[in-house]
């Protein structure tokens, strides 16, 4: 029985499809401190369980080049920087669970409008609210 949150010796990417991947060759980033961005990152992960964004990480597999702060020195000298910094508003866009992209496209359909109304009724502002929206948008 392992708890990925309590175990600080192993940092795991929060995106479930890649969770078993060996991340030795990739960079790993902490979730942003901004609550709004935190929510967006969390949604991208499409995790069914309740995760704590403050203790979560995402690996560099999910960020395109323009999500990073440009390292002009590295670009000029044509080497790959050892350490890369994400922009403050960087969003994960690559290698994410496909369901997310699908539900995003279908957001104008009547079924999702109905689920939005259901959600509005259940406006708790709680974390469960986000998880519920993930579940309803799936179908």
Can you give the binding site for Zn ion, defined by CB under 5 A? 13, 15, 18, 59, 61
Q: Is 46 left (phi over 0), alpha (psi -120 to 50) or beta?
A: left
Is 19 or 136 the residue whose CB approaches Zn ion more closely?
19
Q: Which is nearer to Zn ion, 46 or 115 (CB)?
A: 46
125: CB partners within 8 A, 6+ apart: none
- Both tokens of residue 126? 């709680």
Closest separation in Å from C-beta 3 to Zn ion: 19
Pair of tokens at residue 135? 């579940």
**C-beta nearest to Zn ion: residue:** 13
Q: Which residue, 15 or 43, is less far from Zn ion as judged by CB?
A: 15
Q: Which is nearer to Zn ion, 63 or 133 (CB)?
A: 63
CB of residue 96 to Zn ion, shortest distance in Å: 9
125: left (phi over 0), alpha (psi -120 to 50) or beta: left
Least CB distance to Zn ion at residue 23 (A): 7
Longest dimension (CA), the chain: 56
d(Cα 42, Cα 131) in Å, to the nearest integer?
10
What is the closest distance, in whole angstroms, from the C-beta atom of residue 7 to Zn ion in the complex?
A: 17
CA neighbor of 55 nearest in space, from 90, 37, 31? 31
């Amino acid at each position: 029985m392992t708890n990925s949150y309590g175990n600080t010796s192993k940092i795991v990417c929060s995106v479930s499809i890649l969770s078993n991947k060996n991340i030795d060759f990739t960079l790993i980033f902490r979730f942003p401190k901004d609550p709004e961005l935190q929510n967006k990152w969390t949604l991208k992960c499409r995790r069914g369980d309740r995760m704590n964004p403050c203790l979560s990480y995402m690996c560099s597999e999910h960020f395109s080049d323009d999500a990073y702060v440009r390292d002009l020195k590295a670009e000029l000298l044509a080497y790959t920087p050892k350490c890369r910094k994400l922009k403050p508003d960087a969003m994960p866009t690559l290698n994410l669970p496909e369901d997310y992209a699908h539900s995003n496209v279908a957001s104008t359909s009547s079924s999702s409008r109905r689920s939005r109304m259901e959600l509005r009724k259940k406006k708790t502002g709680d974390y469960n609210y986000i998880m519920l929206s993930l579940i309803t948008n799936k179908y």
